[in-house]
Amino acid sequence: MKTQRDSENIFLLATPAVENNFKKAGFKTDSPKPNYMVLAYDLTLTFAKLDKACRFVRNGVPFIATHEDNNWMIGPNDFRPDVGALAAAITASTKISPKFIGKPNAEMVNAFLKRLGVSKDDVAIIGDRMNADIRMGQDHHILSILVLSGKTKREDIESSPYRPGFVVEKTVDVLEYLL
């Protein structure tokens, strides 16, 4: 968000911890005249907050969302609605889709490469989601390692349009490739 012009005044839908991080970074998160409406994961979402967000978006405030995932897996076969689902509700009401800036989008890749001071050839993306982690690697020509201890199962790989560079059972198995 800091790379966006006039981004210090935002209306933020997020957990209190994320909101505190935004505030520490210098953002005003409940501006009455925001320059951006930002959606992150929000366990404190209320109808009033959703209504306010929709009103801002309908009135032309740019709509930014952190990531596209529709469900957050909290346990085996147990899910909560994630940012993609919340964004879909706002889009259904406003007819305006958000600009997603998290995985697998270029903004995320460019931000972590800059922060680490490395090139694409110096990193690998390790993750458990084909449509986010592995897609990010494939779309941006970065080595990707799929971990099967999370959301994706081995049988899901064949039907996915995204291809990991390597597949491991658990994150710790990545060490084999580093040693």
Kindly give, in sequence order, each residue whose CB lies less than 8 Å from that of residue 175, ignoring residues fewer than 6 positions away: none
Work out the number of other CB atoms within 10 angstroms of the CB of residue 94: 18
Helix ranges (DSSP H) in the chain: 16-24, 47-58, 83-94, 106-116, 135-139, 154-157, 175-178
| pLDDT at site 39 | 98
Residue ranges of domains in the chain, CATH in brackets = 10-100 (3.40.50.1000), 118-178 (3.40.50.1000)
Q: How confident is the model at residue 91 (pLDDT cuts 50, 70, 90)?
A: very high
| pLDDT at site 179 | 65
pTM greater than 0.75: yes
Q: Would you say residue 147 has pLDDT above 70?
A: yes
Q: Would you say residue 51 has pLDDT above 70?
A: yes
